[in-house]
Chains A and B, each alone.
Chain A
Amino acid sequence: MTFASSAELGAALASSGYLPDDGLATAAYLSLRMGRPLFVEGDAGVGKTSLAQALATVLDAPLIRLQCYEGIDVAQAVYDWDFPRQLLHLRTAEAAGRAGDADALEGELYSRRFLLARPLLQAIETSPSVLLVDEVDRADDEFEALLLELLSDFAVTIPEIGAVRAAVPPAVVVTSNRTRDVHDALKRRCLYHWVEHPDFARELAIVRHRHPAATERLAAQVARATSYLRGLDLQKPPGVAETLDWTQALLTLGVGSLDPDAVTRTLGAVLKYREDHEAVVRDGGLISLLEAAVDAG
């Protein structure tokens, strides 16, 4: 599926339930048209990961996700050999009396048949597909070198087999929370976009879209309250993910409008640090929060 303009892609994303701002829609559009990975950074919970999910829906392609962590290596990210089956094959060959021809046997053992594709190789072999390399800043910097070949050539080299190249390059989204600096060589191969928290109108639209059961009044109150919370000096300002969780929590309790009791009971859905709870609850912060929120309703 192709799109003629960034506005068209933006509209398609919106109809799939992901409401991008214009900058993000342009970045995603350029990434698809130029065949370059999109490197997205931004605060936690602004919707970096869901962008990849939405792209997969819009492109009608499977989403292949690689969650990065410290110590991730080739066997977990790219490919591994299916050891038990290789061994079984070897034993069968021996039983059939073919063990003498070691070269032929070796060729059989290290063939595509016994190769296990991990996310990066899967993405290369599946066309079309959307590859999400999530939280690349969690992996150590040696892993970035591994990504370089993939992100520039869309190819993976396996010593026993050779290079595996993508027929159609996958759409690639790389996310980072900026807990450490990612190497420039990796960034140079990508388009870069910094995802902002949505403005009030967009956040309201997102809440209404994701939780149609919420009234306009409740959705507006929640959106205004989270935007008020973001203005406080918190350890973890709430992202869109928290806004949605909070709305869900309020809906589950059957709350139609924010009030002190409802906020106190559900604050855990939106603030995840004890210090943040204290910062909001003391000094009449709860009252200010409600005043800010109820202005909207």
Chain B
Amino acid sequence: MPVDLDVPAAVVGLARTLRSAGVDATSDRLAAAVEALTVLDPASRYDVYWAGRITMCASPDDIARYDRVFAAVFDGAANMMPLSPAAEPVLRVVPPLGLSDRADAPDARDAPKPSAASRREVLRRRDLADLDERDRRDALALLTPLSVAGETRRSRRTGPAAHGPVDRHRTLRRTLRAGGEPVAPVSLRRRRRPRRVVLLIDVSGSMAPYADAFLRFAHVTRRARGPRTEVFTLGTRLTRVTRELSHRDPMLATAAVAAAVPDWSGGTRLGELTKAFVDGWGRRGMARGAIVVVLSDGWERGDAALLGEQVRLLRRLAHRIVWANPRAGRPGFAPLAAGMAAALPYVDDLVAGNSIEALVKLARTVVGERA
């Protein structure tokens, strides 16, 4: 490194370039880097490299970026290479989806008219995409009594219990109050707290027949579990709709969501949007220890490998990943959609979710009852 280079300025420049390359080089990390250089030799390129790397990186991914940025900043612009190599998603032509395979299931269309008594039972089982307007409304009404309590986790906090380990602290306090007389030991146990449930709902064109049912499902879940439920829609962009869904009335709630979501029935890039969720919300804490439910057919217009990678990251944060794929409810289903295939290794439960009955089953899976 040239001797006349102003090292603190160079380190600040390094941090700025790192930030634009995706390394979270915050100001406190920058301060640590400058402090490290007071301990090491700022005239040595080697020491500057290590001081910056040890203080400003936080993961192996960061180190790869750091090496590139460092070379660009300290070896001059001549060797400068593009910091984020073309990550333009490869567009893939997908055949028109969704309703085409209904022709393969004539039994669903030509089914004899059910008697009034069994109509509800039939509605529960029919694929939502096969229902007409009126049947669909009646079917969605069947969702309302569903209650989704959610799996619990053991909390760090303890509470009084009828039996179990002795609560030493409380027993001692009580003995003290009794003037030293022995008292019956007080028991304790770990309290349990419900886990957070995060719903990621695909609202792209191929999911249009199911989107309203999924939103109703989200509404019911949110009503039943209160603030420990978070709902996002994945369209052309990621939209958080948790607030919109807090209306008591399901119709008002769905209308509010429809108004808030700008990209209804468009295309979707699941990988990029999952990444947006992981980076923007999940890693910060929303997905940690949570049950993440993805409601999507797994048709990815972008890079399927990116989706796989993001679901893998999400799996490391979350307690469990449940994937509800309406296509999984159809006969002869195989996870062939590129996105679904890439994500599948990291999914704990793959369920159907294409009929009311399947949604009830999804609710049971979320609660932790395994079939």
Contact = CB atoms under 8 A, between A and B. Distances in A.
Contacts of B285: 141, 183
Contact of A191 (B32, B169, B316): B32
Given A81-B172, A83-B172, A140 B289 contact: yes
Interface stretch (A56-64, A91-99, A250-258, A263-271): A91-99
B39 A34 contact: yes
A181 interface: yes
A94 B181 contact: yes
Given A73-B156, A81-B169, A105 B317 contact: no
Contacts of B283: 181, 184
| A contact face: mostly helix, strand, loop, or mixed | helix
A141 B154 CA distance: 13
Contacts of A87: 172, 175
A200 interface: no
Given A30-B39, A141-B288, A141-B289, A181 B32 contact: no
Given A93-B180, A105-B176, A191-B32, A26 B40 contact: yes
B281 interface: no
Given A86-B172, A181-B317, A194 B180 contact: no
A26 B50 contact: yes
B172 A90 contact: yes
Given A30-B36, A187-B58, A102 B51 contact: no
A192 to B, nearest CB: 5
A126 interface: no
Interface in B276-301: 283, 285, 288-289
A41 B54 CA distance: 12
Interface size class of B (residues with CB under 8 A): 35 or more
B81 to A, nearest CB: 22
Interface size class of A (residues with CB under 8 A): 35 or more
Contact of B58 (A26, A30, A141, A184): A184
B24 interface: yes
Nearest to A39: B58
Interface string B9-40: 00000000000000010101100100110011
A109 B50 contact: no
Contacts of B349: none
Contacts of A194: 57, 59-60, 63
B76 interface: no
A197 interface: no
A34 B36 contact: yes
B265 interface: no
Nearest to B190: A71
A109 B168 CA distance: 13
A72 B3 CA distance: 51
A193 interface: yes
Interface in B44-81: 46-47, 50-51, 53-55, 57-60, 63
B35 A34 contact: yes
> Which of B54, B154, B182 has the most C-beta atoms of chain A within 10 angstroms of its own C-beta?
B54
B2 interface: no
Contacts of A140: 156, 289
B286 to A, nearest CB: 12
Contacts of B36: 30, 34, 191
22 contacts: A26-B40, A26-B51, A26-B54, A27-B54, A41-B60, A87-B172, A90-B172, A90-B175, A91-B180, A93-B180, A99-B179, A105-B176, A140-B289, A141-B285, A141-B289, A181-B283, A181-B317, A188-B29, A191-B54, A191-B55, A192-B54, A194-B57
Interface of A: 6, 22-23, 26-27, 29-30, 33-34, 36, 41, 71, 73, 81, 83, 86-87, 90-91, 93-94, 99-100, 102, 105-106, 109, 140-143, 179-181, 183-184, 187-188, 191-194
Given A36-B32, A81-B169, 7 more contacts: A41-B59, A41-B60, A94-B179, A140-B156, A141-B285, A142-B156, A191-B54
